[in-house]
Chains A and B, each alone.
Chain A
């Protein structure tokens, strides 16, 4: 039997005050634009979360368990929904109660922690797993890293944390001649640097009998079929516009003719927010689901069910990072320019000090400033993906985003300095004198 596996991402960043200027440093310790965040949360709940959750609930009820979907919800999105739109949380719980919905795990703060601090990555993944378990009553067994950022090291870390399945982008650079439409096994290794930090979870249950390495199921996104819905559905310049459910189903069937499993991964906000209700996206999706269930032998499965239904088609070795962002499908959306790299180094330089302070509140503030979106706004890519960056960016320019962000981090730094226990001030690792290495100035940048 052939399968479709759907995963929806729910995330809302905590947007920062655009008026946070140099003079605010040292006097204003509230960084988030609560008003803007509330407005956006209300709008997206009204346009997307509420109607889409209701639609999914209706489809699950109607087809008695044949329709199944998975969600990953960031911790900071959950916090905002709890505060502004608790109705959405109730709907998600109701979905969880059907038994046809799987909730995945990721970093609580939607961060890039894995790239900068393994210890912090583990802490955030644990915090998220705990939150999801408590809220929905089931411990997640599938991991998706922020923005589907993935490589062998991340897979190994997820395996050591006890996860059984992991999601990634079906990038050509990963697959080569192979197709994303099969179940694969991640290329885990044990000698990854952070293993001494993992104490709460024992070694994974499933080990390769020959090598002793952990086995982790790898599901790769079919980005063509996913992005046909997420990005191109209402694009009038697209040659396939308008996209009918019938046409789309034919593509899916054609793809599954010789293959086994299509992974459709996308932002949940696709429905009603990125693609407005008026485009017909809701009825498109309903028609698609109904027709698959009624007129085909294709079934919907959850990520955790994939291994029970399909055999692994082999190990996929991913030594370098991939992601689902931009056409490069690598890290360049967040670490592509000097502003982004400088901002990231700046925030992670504070890790040790903020942890020495011992304040949960400061630690939470610091972690929130590690959300990947802050760095995404600083991207200076102005090719085809520039449009997508601009769509999500509430700043006037990447330079604004950088200046405001660094002002805020400087304020946090000042607060941390004041709150550091006296005996630890000597240990501070941020900017002791003489640490600036003078690189060759890159005149091209000017």
Chain B
């Protein structure tokens, strides 16, 4: 079976859990004998860390698409409108998107028209520019990417199209229209998760359209499935839940990490945006520091609330006990997890949430919010409602004061995730493909 997979991130160039999840899924599908072509906006000159059996197409290197972009743009009267990002210069991850004024990226024609267009444009040089970021040209890039989807839909042969998150839904729809093959969309997060307080209407529209046109929808948790049903009005029968897992290949060695403090370390690691609930972490930290001294709090990551969080921490005047690291990557992430005694994920709305699983790999116990998909799996993790900072503070204190309880939680949680691996996820997804096109995997 051949699958055209459309993604936005792949390691090493990632900004969140999406790339990690896509890699886990793709690798496990390859092991399940699925013949995979993975399309990303740009590999930025770096080699992706995917299984060797997977073919990777970088959209910015994909020549035949220029004519299509031109045509699509004209046809839809599309115009991009940009709004300046509001992040500080520290923040590479702006959460304020641009929005498109009008229209929805649509396919430029039927298969024959597209093939003819491509024929005429064969000799052009390369053209498309993708950053693959979530910057102010995001809508332009999503638009261009959808044209690549049209082109690939005409040129490539495959049985199923699989698109990850809203940035790739338009491309998936175009590919489906041209090829007449079934479309699977994979909901790692919805706009309502990302922008808790004010969802971008344009993005919601793109999501809704993708969900409606898709033949099958995969969500990463029941929490997200309910969101898709309730917020987007989608028929529950179309939706399958496939839990993510933590890659076993996350490389870490207990290299001599020296902790320079005697205090216990409580960690928050994630984007500092309203979705992740950083302010509840801070509120709880203040309440804990009222009661105990032998603890430090670390907030790692970046995002639009970064300046606000620093300012608020400074108002509490607890800079001796509360630290910001900025965005961490690679070895620094390993180091901070290895140094930590407790991991907190106070997300306001988290479809899945890979980070607590990552923490468990380092034997760090976790406290997670009830408003996360991870809570469905980590039945033994300590859970609180994100807004209940009194309870969160109490939980932090009792866990820090009781080492036995901490190791017990780690042990039980590891048991919880034993049954969940990428291999399981890959097998489930392969089954979904088969049900759609009536083929067996091989």
- Report A407-446 CB contacts with B as 1/0, cut-off 8 Å: 1011001100000000000000011111010110110011
- B residues within 8 A CB of A442? 312, 315
CB-contact partner of B88 in A22, A399, A433, A445, under 8 A: A399
Please tell me if the beta carbons of B292 and A21 are within 8 angstroms of each other in the complex: no
Instruction: Pick the interface stretch among B34-42, B176-184, B319-327.
Output: B319-327
Within 8 A of A (CB), among B220-279: 258, 260-261, 279
Please tell me if the beta carbons of B258 and A431 are within 8 angstroms of each other in the complex: no
CB-contact partner of B307 in A25, A346, A399, under 8 A: A399
- A residues within 8 A CB of B326? 21, 403
CB of B298 within 8 Å of the partner chain: yes
CB-contact partner of B325 in A22, A409, A410, under 8 A: A22
CB of A137 within 8 Å of the partner chain: no
Please tell me if the beta carbons of B90 and A397 are within 8 angstroms of each other in the complex: yes
CB of A337 within 8 Å of the partner chain: yes
- A residues within 8 A CB of B324? 22, 403
Closest to A349 in B: B320
Distance of A413 Cα from B321 Cα, bound (Å): 11
Q: How far is the CB of A403 from chain B (nearest CB, A)?
A: 5
CB of B308 within 8 Å of the partner chain: yes
Q: How far is the CB of B316 from chain A (nearest CB, A)?
A: 7
- B residues within 8 A CB of A434? 290-291
- B residues within 8 A CB of A345? 317
CB of B402 within 8 Å of the partner chain: no
Please tell me if the beta carbons of B332 and A399 are within 8 angstroms of each other in the complex: no
Distance of A446 Cα from B280 Cα, bound (Å): 13
Please tell me if the beta carbons of A397 and B312 are within 8 angstroms of each other in the complex: no
Closest to B339 in A: A23
- A residues within 8 A CB of B315? 338, 342, 439, 441-442, 445
Q: How far is the CB of A25 from chain B (nearest CB, A)?
A: 6
Within 8 A of B (CB), among A249-276: none
Please tell me if the beta carbons of B258 and A22 are within 8 angstroms of each other in the complex: no
Please tell me if the beta carbons of B293 and A433 are within 8 angstroms of each other in the complex: yes
Interface hub of B88, B305, B324 (most chain A Cβ within 10 A): B324
Q: A407 with B323: in contact, given A23-B332, A399-B310, A446-B312 (CB under 8 Å)?
A: yes
Distance of A403 Cα from B302 Cα, bound (Å): 13
CB of B436 within 8 Å of the partner chain: no
CB of A26 within 8 Å of the partner chain: yes
- B residues within 8 A CB of A441? 283, 312, 315
Within 8 A of B (CB), among A1-51: 21-23, 25-27
Distance of A439 Cα from B287 Cα, bound (Å): 11
Within 8 A of A (CB), among B281-322: 283, 286-287, 289-293, 298, 305-321
CB of A400 within 8 Å of the partner chain: yes
Please tell me if the beta carbons of B319 and A409 are within 8 angstroms of each other in the complex: yes
Please tell me if the beta carbons of B316 and A436 are within 8 angstroms of each other in the complex: yes
Distance of A402 Cα from B318 Cα, bound (Å): 13
Q: A27 with B291: in contact, given A346-B319, A436-B286 (CB under 8 Å)?
A: no
Please tell me if the beta carbons of A343 and B261 are within 8 angstroms of each other in the complex: no
Distance of A413 Cα from B263 Cα, bound (Å): 13
Closest to B309 in A: A446
Distance of A432 Cα from B336 Cα, bound (Å): 26
Q: How far is the CB of B394 from chain A (nearest CB, A)?
A: 15
Please tell me if the beta carbons of A396 and B89 are within 8 angstroms of each other in the complex: yes
CB of B111 within 8 Å of the partner chain: no
Distance of A442 Cα from B313 Cα, bound (Å): 11
Distance of A439 Cα from B314 Cα, bound (Å): 11
- A residues within 8 A CB of B314? 337-339, 341-343, 402
Please tell me if the beta carbons of B310 and A402 are within 8 angstroms of each other in the complex: yes
Please tell me if the beta carbons of B298 and A22 are within 8 angstroms of each other in the complex: yes
Please tell me if the beta carbons of B321 and A396 are within 8 angstroms of each other in the complex: no
25 A-B pairs with CB atoms under 8 Å apart are: A22-B325, A23-B335, A25-B260, A25-B261, A26-B260, A337-B314, A339-B310, A339-B311, A339-B314, A342-B313, A342-B319, A343-B319, A346-B319, A399-B90, A399-B306, A399-B310, A406-B319, A406-B323, A407-B323, A410-B319, A410-B320, A432-B293, A436-B289, A436-B317, A446-B312
Top 9 A-B residue pairs of the complex, sorted by shortest distance between their CB atoms: A26-B260, A342-B314, A433-B293, A446-B308, A338-B314, A406-B319, A22-B325, A338-B315, A445-B311
Q: Which A residues lie at the B interface, using CB under 8 A?
A: 21-23, 25-27, 337-339, 341-343, 345-346, 349, 396-397, 399-400, 402-403, 406-407, 409-410, 413-414, 430-434, 436, 438-439, 441-442, 445-446
Q: Which B residues lie at the A interface, using CB under 8 A?
A: 88-90, 258, 260-261, 279, 283, 286-287, 289-293, 298, 305-321, 323-326, 332, 335-336
